[in-house]
Amino acid sequence: MSRSLSFGLAAALATALALGAPPAHAEERLTLAQAAQRARTSGIDVLLAETNVRAAEGDARAGRALPNPAVTFSVGRGFNYDPLDSSSSRWQYTVGLSDQALFMELLSGKHGLKGDVGAYAVAAAKADRKNAERLVVFATKAAYVDVVGAQKVLAVSKDIAELLGKVVELNRLRYPKVIDEGVLARVEAEKLEADQNVDQAEANLESAQAALAFVLGMRGQNARVTVDEKALDYVVPPSLATATLDALVQQAVSQRADAKQAELSAKRADASMTLAKRQRVPDVSLFLQYQQMGTGQNAVQPPTFAVGVGLPVPILDMRGGTVARAEADVDSSKLSSTRVQNQIVFDVRTAFAAFTSGQRIAARFENQLMERRRRAFEITKAQFEAGSATLMDFLDAERGFAGAANDRLAALVSYWKAVFALEAALGKEIDG
């Protein structure tokens, strides 16, 4: 291998590490912040949660509606009756008006309880929408850095494959006078493995692009995003530099949308149970009625005005099943709230552990490991050029340097995913 070729390989690897390669045929350019904002407005899960909010608002409006009054009118004809004068008649007329238990609905407090149930349900649905945003934004950011990482890995893989192709061409010229077939076969195998890595990197990039398009709600089989490669640069968010687990757990418990949703669902269940018990009060209806069958003294039914009440007699159904169901709902909501609290602690603990370890690994790559790998490659290159190292030694050093480059990118992707997981666990974005 010539000195210029070995130097070019090292330079190309360093350039690929620093710059990466832009995606081909991108249709839309989005920064990380823009992608997150797009997810908040276009993510399918967010849109579904929004429909649940509208449904809850419709249910609340229906619950606040008052019963309409009922008007009845009937006409009847008497048989075997002969009116003696014009003031008598064989025709009967009846008109009635009922409040449909409207007064009792207000007096018993059922109407107010229905309003409370609806209001809590709407508030819980809105909190659930915020929680959907939390999860979708995390998925979007994770998919975004996956694309950046896959893009950079592809750039490194292509540069290695291209330069190893030149190494193969050079050594084919040197065979069989300078090198034997075993050396040539090893160089050719290195090139073939590099081509394999390129194919795999291209597939990984396409998969990452598809995942990002999916979480963003982008339509079309060729939907792609041009990403900002600086999103993968190593930096520690200031708010996390001195963060402690206890402080983060307290923040998460106080601000997570799913915790708020569980709290509101518990209040809705309590209001529903109170309403179910209140429904045992009979729905007393008030009614007015006017009836006549003729108008004179000899009429079968002179004009008559009546006021009355009607109520269902609670002897067959005491609403025991409804109350039992409501009580079970209360217990279920309390257990769900406890589970959410436990889930929050679990999320924060696991995310914080991933962040602290990911930070150490990424920092080690940035501050020491890559520099030592690069230095080892440069020394081996110099030894090879001086004749004290073999071609195989140089290829081993090149493989180690390239492997470290890919490991560094994987570490950065994992680090930022840990940061985003911690954001999701806390329920708020972390300023970086």
Note whether 402 and 409 are within 8 A (CB). no
pLDDT tens figures, 373-390: 888 888 987 886 677 888
Note whether 249 and 348 are within 8 A (CB). yes
Question: Can you tell me the mean pLDDT for 90-115?
Answer: 91
Helix axes 3-19, 391-426, angle to 10 degrees: 0
Higher pLDDT, 171 or 307: 307
Residue 220: pLDDT over 80:
no
Instruction: For residue 421, count other CB atoms closer than 10 A to its CB.
Output: 21
pLDDT tens figures, 343-361: 999 999 999 999 999 999 9
DSSP 390: -
Predicted confidence at residue 222, as pLDDT, reads 81
Residues of the chain above pLDDT 70, percent = 91
298 phi and psi angles, rounded to 5 deg: -90, 5
Question: Can you tell me the mean pLDDT for 276-294?
Answer: 90
Q: CA nearest 347: which of 266, 418, 277, 414?
A: 418
Domain-wise residue ranges, the chain: 3-426
Predicted confidence at residue 11, as pLDDT, reads 44
Tracing tokens 């930096």 back to the chain, one arrives at 235
Tell which phi-psi region holds residue 319, choosing left (phi > 0), alpha (psi between -120 and 50) or beta.
left
pTM greater than the 0.85 cutoff: no
User: What is the distance between the alpha carbons of residues 161 and 147, in angstroms, rounded to a whole number?
Assistant: 21
Predicted confidence at residue 85, as pLDDT, reads 63
Residue 313: pLDDT over 60:
yes
User: What is the distance between the alpha carbons of residues 415 and 295, in angstroms, rounded to a whole number?
Assistant: 93
Predicted confidence at residue 217, as pLDDT, reads 85
Length of the chain: 432
Note whether 231 and 32 are within 8 A (CB). yes
Question: Can you tell me the mean pLDDT for 127-134?
Answer: 95
Question: Can you tell me the mean pLDDT for 99-115?
Answer: 91
pLDDT tens figures, 26-66: 468 999 999 999 999 988 999 999 999 999 999 999 999 99
* CATH number for the domain whose boundaries are 3-426: 1.20.1600.10
Residues of the chain above pLDDT 90, percent = 58
User: What is the distance between the alpha carbons of residues 131 and 351, in angstroms, rounded to a whole number?
Assistant: 17
Tracing tokens 């195989």 back to the chain, one arrives at 392
Q: What are the tokens at 43?
A: 């993510």
Predicted confidence at residue 393, as pLDDT, reads 84
Average pLDDT, the chain: 87
User: What is the distance between the alpha carbons of residues 205 and 145, in angstroms, rounded to a whole number?
Assistant: 11
Picking from 89-93, 134-138, 185-189, 406-410, which range would have the lowest pLDDT averaged per residue?
89-93
Residue 10: pLDDT over 60:
no
Q: To which H or E segment does residue 125 belong?
A: helix 110-174
Strand partners, 93: 75, 292
The three-class DSSP label of residue 136 is: helix
The three-class DSSP label of residue 305 is: strand
Q: What are the tokens at 267?
A: 């209040």
Residue 2: pLDDT over 80:
no
